Structure formats: structure tokens, C-alpha cells
């Protein structure tokens, strides 16, 4: 039986009070605006966690966020693409996916984002790590819940730099902090 990483993530976030959790209406609106359907595992993850931060520097985008810069919306995604124009061009020239296929779902202040690729409807739940400054794209081979759980507990040595960025050196930093 496959592991339930959503349950594991919720256990790691024990004690958090979740806020701004999107409902079916919020998902229907963003999916209509973007003309796509998000994968169920991703929607379930965001619907449980709502608005908040993993560690100190990974912000979950959410269609119900009260903060426009953390709202999963067509306007915010367009603005993010404009902000990362040079990095996206570099990514495409390095053989990465077309910028129009990327949907940022969690962002850092260090220009490293987690994205879903818009292919298929509903699209794949496979996560990509985009590093705009380097123009690099890495297919992570797992969904957001599995990736964040494994990253937090140190099971992904190849991603230790990202773990360091998000949670730092301290092993007691909370997995998730709720709130916008």
C-alpha cells in the first residue's frame, strides 16, 4: 500500500492552526480562470494546509489567500512570470519547459519555486523545482506532500541546499507555520 504523504505532512504540522483553506468554490474559480484542472493530490494538500509557510522561506500559494502576492490566481501568476522573465528565458534556452506550461505553487524569496507543469487535464501532480537565477529545472518525481515530508526529515540529500534554505540548520524549526 502506498504511503499517505498528506497524512505524514499533517502529522509533521501537528499543533498548527490552519487558515484560509480553499473550498470547492475557490478551486472552481481559479481552475476556470486558468482553464485547467489541478491534480487532486495537490488540491487536497493545499485545502488542508491553506495559507502559510514551510520553514521560514517556502510560501504556499493558495486560491483563498488574503494576500494577493500569495494567491494562486491568473493575475498573480502573470505578475510572477513578468518578474522572472530573464530566468524563464534562460530556463527555456537551457532546454527547460515553456514558461506558459509552468504554474508556481510554492515560492521562496530566493528565486527558487516549486511548480506544476500544465500538461494534460487534469495536469500531472509531479513537482518541478525551478531556479530562476541559474535557469535550471529539476523534475522531482513526486508530489508536493511527499517532497516536503522527505525534504524536512532529510531523506533527500541531493536537495540539502533547498532544505537549508527553507528550514535552516536547526532541526527543531517547525515544518509549517499557518497564516498569510
Q: Is the dihedral of CA 127, 11, 18, 155 positive or negative?
A: negative
Residue pair 180/51 in contact (Cβ under 8 Å)? The answer is: yes
Per-residue pLDDT of 72-117, as tens digits, reads: 999 998 898 888 888 888 888 888 777 777 889 999 999 899 999 8
**Degrees, nearest 5: CA angle 151-26-150:** 10
Residue pair 156/150 in contact (Cβ under 8 Å)? The answer is: yes
Residue 132 scores a pLDDT above 50: yes
Round the average pLDDT of the chain to a whole number and report it: 89
Residue pair 105/143 in contact (Cβ under 8 Å)? The answer is: no
**Degrees, nearest 5: CA angle 141-144-149:** 95
Q: Is residue 128 part of a domain?
A: yes
Burial class (CB in 10 A: 0-12, 13-18, 19+), 142: middle
* CATH number of the CATH domain containing 47: 3.40.1580.10
Per-residue pLDDT of 113-131, as tens digits, reads: 999 987 665 566 678 899 9
Q: Is residue 179 part of a domain?
A: no
**Sequence-ordered list of residues with C-beta below 8 angstroms from that of 23, at least 6 positions apart, any chain:** 47, 64
- Confidence class of residue 179 from pLDDT cuts 50, 70 and 90? confident
Q: Is residue 2 part of a domain?
A: no
Q: Is residue 166 part of a domain?
A: no
Residue 62, SS3 per DSSP: strand
Q: Is residue 101 part of a domain?
A: yes
The pair phi, psi for residue 107, each rounded to 5°, is -130, 155
Residue pair 135/96 in contact (Cβ under 8 Å)? The answer is: yes
- Note down the domain range covering 70: 17-142
| Number of domains observed in the structure of the chain | 1
Q: Is residue 1 part of a domain?
A: no
Residue 64 scores a pLDDT above 90: yes
Q: Is residue 118 part of a domain?
A: yes
Sequential DSSP letters for 81-145: HHHTHHHHHHHHHTT---GGGEEEEEE-TTSEEEEEE--TTTTP--EEEEETTTTEEEE-SS-HH
Which residues sit opposite 178 in a β-bridge? Answer: 52
Q: Is residue 162 part of a domain?
A: no
CA 40 – CA 34 distance, rounded (Å):
16
Amino acid at each position: 500500500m502506498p504511503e499517505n504523504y498528506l497524512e505524514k505532512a499533517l502529522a509533521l504540522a501537528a499543533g498548527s492552526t490552519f487558515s484560509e483553506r480553499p473550498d470547492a468554490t475557490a478551486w472552481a474559480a481559479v481552475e476556470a480562470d486558468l482553464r485547467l484542472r489541478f491534480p487532486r493530490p495537490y488540491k487536497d494538500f493545499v485545502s488542508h494546509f491553506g495559507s502559510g509557510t514551510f520553514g521560514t522561506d517556502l510560501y504556499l500559494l493558495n486560491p483563498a489567500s488574503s494576500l494577493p502576492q500569495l494567491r494562486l490566481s491568473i493575475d498573480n501568476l502573470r505578475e510572477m512570470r513578468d518578474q522572472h522573465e530573464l530566468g524563464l528565458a534562460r530556463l527555456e534556452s537551457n532546454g527547460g519547459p515553456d514558461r506558459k506550461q509552468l504554474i508556481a505553487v510554492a515560492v521562496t524569496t530566493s528565486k527558487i519555486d516549486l511548480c506544476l507543469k500544465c500538461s494534460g487535464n487534469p495536469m500531472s501532480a509531479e513537482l518541478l523545482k525551478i531556479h530562476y537565477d541559474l535557469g535550471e529545472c529539476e523534475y522531482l518525481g513526486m508530489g508536493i506532500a511527499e517532497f516536503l515530508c522527505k525534504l524536512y526529515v532529510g531523506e533527500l540529500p541531493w536537495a540539502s541546499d533547498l532544505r537549508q534554505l527553507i528550514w535552516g540548520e536547526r532541526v527543531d524549526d517547525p515544518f509549517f507555520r499557518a497564516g498569510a
